């Protein structure tokens, strides 16, 4: 646990030190769970968004994108169910006066038991070495089975309470599990209450009547209310998808864990409209497709897992999360939901406009069913950033910090470094900067000794360092150093653009 905490602290401090992420309003002591992206953070974030956008919109002939407004008609949130049901169960500890989400307390408790299983597995793996059969071990070891039974029992009770909106049952579960407040260490809990997570603001004058506007808690509704506009103007045929990237806002109660849980964050969502009855096939398709998208980043498969939902949201008939092993354990990174025709039907009902599709092959009108894929930009950032950040001991015993980002996502693709700040090397290096800048984000740096400049580029994830030395002036090309292997090779200047294009390819999802 201490190691996990240290690793997480290192992620947060590294992100700040190198200009990736700053606490919002820092000189005023910050604003809870709100963060600003700095000069390098914005580049990585934009590259993540571009990877998602391309793989959804550009690589699929039947998916298009939109950018709907954050402010929407207030009735939308009535129709979607958010006004009445977008709640979190909260509970206070009477001694510390700290507020928690009852569901998160229980989920954290389950995660601790999962951790115990993981430790048993690791211990056995060490003991048995190559002969170790993990599947057999977890299905037969009595201690593991005992832990697993506990998890299953808690999960069953927890789902029952959540499905029945049984707040007293949730409280009783917290008491029975002897969950204590991490601050006060006591079990002196209040009742559990529901708390709506939407932020509200006013639009126009009060005399106009209904003037409460919500900051959207998800981008999806902007897609649903534009379903007909896009379908008709784009002559879209079912099955087809509409994608959107944009800000969402939630008044989160427990706002810790850095950019994992923010009050203002960004989502990348895609709603895929299908024929009624075909939704579960498409659900399966997108469930697999989305995992492929993650794996194409080159992060090992064991860092991801599916978590099928026991408790289904009021609109869903199947749901799964793709969870990622963050420095604080496995947590949701992306949600994939089969949302039935709930949203379109409700918007038809509340707006009085028929949101249907005429299927010329079936010669039939129907309300399409929807598969949603919904992923947080910030959580993806945290996953890629925390996985890529490593301290390495080199052959000569020295250490370096390296941020092994996929090259195409790295803020800078190359740094151009004159070996010394004289003899015409800076001028030559700037020529190379100008040669590359139209194709790639590149950085020019002449400060400090070359070794320190390499370390700095390693720490911000730059995949290539291009060093200009005296031989460059004699027409002998430049040295290109690769970040992860630290291997160096000599490349003629006229081949540099082609070299970088060849080595920094778009990520393909297949």
On the CB side of 229, CA atoms within 13 Å amount to: 10
> Which one, of 73, 59, 51, 57, lies nearest residue 298 by Cα?
51
| Helical H segments across 276-341, by residue range | 279-295
Q: Nearest approach, Cβ of 268 to ligand ATP (angstroms)?
A: 9
Check: CB of residue 439 under 8 Å from CB of residue 499: no
Structure-token match 């029975």, residue found: 176
Would you say how long the chain is, in residues? 510
Q: x/- site string to ligand ATP, residues 338 to 377, per CB under 6 A?
A: ------------------------------------xxx-
Q: Nearest approach, Cβ of 333 to ligand ATP (angstroms)?
A: 6
Structure-token match 């190691």, residue found: 3
Residue closer to ligand ATP by CB (options 105, 262) is 262
| 261 binding ligand ATP? (CB under 6 A) | yes
Residue closer to ligand ATP by CB (options 279, 334) is 334
Q: Which two tokens stand for residue 90?
A: 């909260």
> Which one, of 417, 501, 413, 506, lies nearest residue 463 by Cα?
413
Exposed, middle or buried, 95 (CB in 10 Å: 0-12/13-18/19+)? middle
Q: Which of 222, 239, 241, 335 binds ligand ATP (CB under 6 A)?
A: 335
Q: Nearest approach, Cβ of 389 to ligand ATP (angstroms)?
A: 19
| 171 binding ligand ATP? (CB under 6 A) | no
Give the integer Cα–Cα distance in Å for 339 and 276: 11
Which 88-127 positions form the footprint of ligand ATP (CB under 6 A)?
Answer: none
For ligand ATP, which stretch binds (CB under 6 A), given 177-185, 204-212, 232-240, 331-339?
Answer: 331-339
Q: Nearest approach, Cβ of 59 to ligand ATP (angstroms)?
A: 21
Check: CB of residue 258 under 8 Å from CB of residue 382: yes
Q: Nearest approach, Cβ of 259 to ligand ATP (angstroms)?
A: 7
Give the integer Cα–Cα distance in Å for 280 and 276: 9
Q: Which two tokens stand for residue 226?
A: 């534009």
- Output the CA–CA distances (angstroms, integers) from residue 375 to 216, 229, 334, in the order listed: 16, 24, 4
Q: Which residues pair with 212 in a beta bridge?
A: 202
For ligand ATP, which stretch binds (CB under 6 A), given 164-172, 330-338, 420-428, 490-498?
Answer: 330-338
Residue closer to ligand ATP by CB (options 79, 402) is 79
Can you say whether residue 258 is alpha, beta or left, with left for phi > 0 and alpha for psi between -120 and 50 degrees?
left
Q: Which residues pair with 496 in a beta bridge?
A: none
Residues ≥6 apart with Cβ < 8 Å to 423? 470, 473
For ligand ATP, which stretch binds (CB under 6 A), given 50-58, 173-181, 291-299, 332-340?
Answer: 332-340
For ligand ATP, which stretch binds (CB under 6 A), given 76-84, 90-98, 328-336, 414-422?
Answer: 328-336
Q: Which of 147, 171, 250, 294 binds ligand ATP (CB under 6 A)?
A: 250
| 458 binding ligand ATP? (CB under 6 A) | no
Residue closer to ligand ATP by CB (options 154, 377) is 377
Residue nearest to ligand ATP (CB): 376
Q: Which of 332, 359, 446, 482 binds ligand ATP (CB under 6 A)?
A: 332
For ligand ATP, which stretch binds (CB under 6 A), given 21-29, 258-266, 353-361, 480-488?
Answer: 258-266
Residue closer to ligand ATP by CB (options 322, 414) is 322
Residue closer to ligand ATP by CB (options 294, 379) is 379
| 214 binding ligand ATP? (CB under 6 A) | no
| 333 binding ligand ATP? (CB under 6 A) | yes
Q: Which residues pair with 66 in a beta bridge?
A: 244
Residue closer to ligand ATP by CB (options 158, 412) is 158
Please state, as a whole number, how many other Cβ atoms lie within 10 Å of the Cβ of residue 112: 12
| 334 binding ligand ATP? (CB under 6 A) | yes
Q: Nearest approach, Cβ of 82 to ligand ATP (angstroms)?
A: 11
| 472 binding ligand ATP? (CB under 6 A) | no
Structure-token match 């929807």, residue found: 370
C-alpha torsion 345→346→352→356, nearest 10: -20
Residues contacting ligand ATP: total by CB under 6 A: 16
> Which one, of 459, 448, 453, 507, lies nearest residue 479 by Cα?
453
Q: Which residues bind ligand ATP (CB under 6 A)?
A: 218, 250, 252, 261-262, 265, 267, 332-335, 374-376, 378-379
């Amino acid at each position: 646990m201490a190691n996990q905490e240290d690793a997480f602290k290192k992620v947060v401090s590294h992100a700040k030190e190198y200009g990736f992420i700053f606490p919002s309003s820092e000189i005023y002591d910050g604003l809870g769970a709100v963060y600003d992206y700095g000069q390098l953070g914005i580049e990585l974030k934009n590259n993540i968004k571009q990877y998602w956008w391309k793989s959804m919109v550009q690589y699929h002939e039947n998916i298009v994108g939109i950018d709907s407004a954050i402010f929407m008609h207030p009735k939308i949130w009535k129709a979607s169910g958010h006004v009445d049901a977008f709640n979190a169960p909260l509970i206070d500890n009477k001694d510390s006066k700290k507020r928690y989400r009852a569901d998160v307390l229980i989920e954290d408790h389950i995660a601790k038991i999962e951790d115990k299983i993981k430790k048993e597995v690791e211990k056995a793996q060490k003991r048995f070495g190559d002969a170790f059969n993990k599947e057999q071990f977890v299905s037969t070891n009595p201690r593991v089975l005992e832990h697993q039974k506990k998890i299953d029992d808690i999960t069953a009770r927890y789902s029952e309470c959540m499905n029945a909106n049984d707040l007293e049952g949730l409280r009783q579960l917290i008491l029975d599990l002897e969950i204590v407040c991490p601050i006060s260490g006591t079990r002196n809990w209040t009742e559990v209450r529901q708390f709506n997570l939407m932020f509200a603001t006013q639009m126009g004058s009060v005399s106009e009547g209904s003037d409460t506007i919500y900051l959207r808690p998800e981008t999806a509704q902007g897609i649903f209310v534009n379903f007909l506009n896009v379908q008709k103007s784009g002559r879209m045929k079912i099955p087809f998808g509409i994608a959107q990237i944009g800000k969402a806002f939630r008044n989160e109660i427990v706002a810790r864990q850095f950019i994992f849980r923010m009050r203002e964050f960004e989502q990348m969502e895609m709603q895929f409209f299908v024929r009624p009855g075909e939704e579960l096939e498409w659900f399966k398709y997108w469930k697999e497709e989305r995992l492929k998208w993650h794996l194409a980043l080159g992060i090992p498969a064991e860092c991801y897992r599916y978590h099928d939902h026991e408790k289904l949201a009021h609109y869903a008939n199947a749901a799964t999360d793709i969870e990622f092993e963050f420095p604080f354990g496995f947590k949701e990174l992306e949600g994939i939901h089969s949302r039935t025709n709930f949203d379109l039907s409700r918007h038809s009902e509340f707006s009085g406009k028929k949101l249907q599709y005429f299927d010329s092959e079936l010669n039939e009108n129907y309300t399409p069913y929807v598969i949603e894929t919904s992923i947080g930009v910030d959580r993806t950032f945290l996953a890629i950033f925390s996985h890529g950040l490593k301290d390495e001991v080199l052959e000569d015993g020295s250490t370096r910090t390296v941020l092994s980002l996929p090259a195409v996502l790295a803020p800078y693709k190359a740094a151009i470094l004159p070996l010394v700040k004289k003899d015409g090397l800076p001028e030559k290096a700037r020529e190379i900067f100008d040669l590359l800048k139209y194709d790639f984000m590149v950085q020019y740096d002449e400060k400090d000794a070359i070794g320190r400049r390499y370390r700095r580029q390693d720490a911000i994830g730059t995949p290539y360092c291009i060093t200009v030395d005296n031989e460059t002036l004699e027409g002998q090309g430049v040295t290109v150093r690769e970040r992860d292997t630290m291997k160096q090779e000599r490349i003629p200047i006229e081949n540099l653009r082609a070299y970088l294009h060849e080595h920094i390819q778009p990520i393909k999802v297949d």
